[in-house]
Amino acid sequence: MQQKQQLRDELLACRDGEDASSRAAADARIKAQLESLSLFQDARIVYLYISIGSEVDTRGIIESLLACGKTVCAPRCSSDGVMHAHVLSSLDELQGGVMGIPAPPAGSAVVEPDAIDLIIVPCIACDTSGYRLGYGGGYYDRYLACASQVSSLALCRETQLLERLPREEHDIPVDFVITDKRVLL
């Protein structure tokens, strides 16, 4: 959808252009909002993305989860559009993956979607109904379709939250959107 790609390009340019210290402050507030949720506190197995570039930072979240003894899974993608949740024991284990995205080692344990308690997905932007604008590969929409009983949320700075995003039939909304100012259910 050309409209989505144009919006992607515009929003990525805006996000990339934000001051790094402002992004870091917003990310700290997002982390605090997330960690205050019982959904997050009660989760034993959390599947979340490894942040890159100007995405909402997940590395501190991963370190907190590991310090609490929770099982952390991160995506390992294949070039055919399939993504699996691999156990991550340390950020030091990360290797280069598909499209240069850091990923757990290929030999790490795989956790099936129905065993996961919480899925945290990346976004370029979200809307107030939980629909997100991703990077266009469809990895997370396909994964969420297989994990429909698992709670999902997106981390999104308030500057990237829109009233409504363009949607397609295959787009799957998340259950919650966490911003630096609010939690949308």
pLDDT at 185: 84
**pLDDT interval class at 1 (50, 70, 90):** low
Nearest in space to 170 (alpha carbons), one of 126, 150, 140, 125: 140
**Amino acid symbol at 32:** A
pLDDT in tens, 142-165: 999 999 899 999 999 999 999 999
SS3 12: helix
**Would you tell me which CATH number, out of the four given (3.40.50.740, 3.40.50.10420, 3.10.20.310, 3.10.20.30), belongs to the domain 2-184?**
3.40.50.10420
Nearest in space to 35 (alpha carbons), one of 149, 140, 120, 161: 120
SS3 7: helix
Q: Which two tokens stand for residue 108?
A: 């790490």
| Cβ neighbours of residue 9 closer than 8 Å, sequence gap 6 or more | none
DSSP 82: -
pLDDT in tens, 63-110: 999 999 999 999 999 878 889 999 999 999 999 888 888 999 989 999
97 or 182, which is more confident: 182
SS3 55: coil
pLDDT at 98: 85
**pLDDT interval class at 62 (50, 70, 90):** very high
pTM surpassing 0.85? yes
d(CA 116, CA 137): 22
For residue 75, what are the β-bridge partners? Answer: 85
pLDDT at 120: 98
pLDDT in tens, 166-177: 999 999 999 999
